[in-house]
Structure 1
Amino acid sequence: MSDDHSTHPHQHTKAVADQLARTAGHVTSVKRMIEAGRPCADVLVQLTAVRAAIDRASRLVLEDHVESCLRGAASNGMADDEWARLKEALDTFIR
């Protein structure tokens, strides 16, 4: 998806990984609800919770990007390139 060749630490890496692990468990639970024939309203409530969990992880990734990637790119004279990558990522995410 990205052709970024650099790696650097991000403040929220563990929090994002933990959030996604919890979300994966939640998705598995929702799948079991569907297989068990639970009411659609109950399933939809849980799917809304899954979406919110993904949104929380996304916000952390965005926060890291702004704090680490954009700040680093600005100090290296590559802010325009990083802004373009951010715009592309946001366009994809918002679709």
Structure 2
Amino acid sequence: MSETTKHSSHPRISTRLKRANGHLAAVIDMIAEGRPCSEIAQQLHAVEKAVTNAKRALIHDHIDHCLEPGPNGEIVDSKSFKDITRYL
């Protein structure tokens, strides 16, 4: 985490995460209101999916823009590739 990098996709990913954060806050309110568990579970599933999709977009963007292919198309920095793909 020593590098500071901003990609063109970061604002879109940040927007997705802010939306998921709002949904998560709504889920917390639903619990406090005593809403049915099936409704809460459905909303939690949506939050989980939103975060997973944001993570996937970030990782794919990193692979596309931060990992340089070698002369034969192979990945030159396999450690960096392995480091990022463990989060998939």
- TM-score w.r.t. length of structure 2: 0.79
The structural deviation recorded for 1:84 is: 1.9
* Selected match of 1:22 from 4, 19, 27: 19
Task: Give unpaired runs (5+ residues) of structure 2.
Answer: none
Q: 2:19 matched to 1:35?
A: no
Percent sequence identity over aligned pairs: 31
- TM-score w.r.t. length of structure 1: 0.74
Task: Write 1 or 2 for the structure with the bigger share of helix.
Answer: 1
Please tell me the residue identity of whatever aligns with 2:44: L
RMSD: 2.3
Task: Give unpaired runs (5+ residues) of structure 1.
Answer: none
Match of 2:82 in 1: 87
Q: Which runs of 4+ in 1 moved over 4 A?
A: none
The structural deviation recorded for 1:55 is: 1.3
Greater RCO, 1 or 2 (C-alpha within 8 Å, sep 6+): 1
Instruction: Note if contact 1:11-1:64 (Cα within 8 Å) is conserved in structure 2.
Output: no
The structural deviation recorded for 1:42 is: 0.6
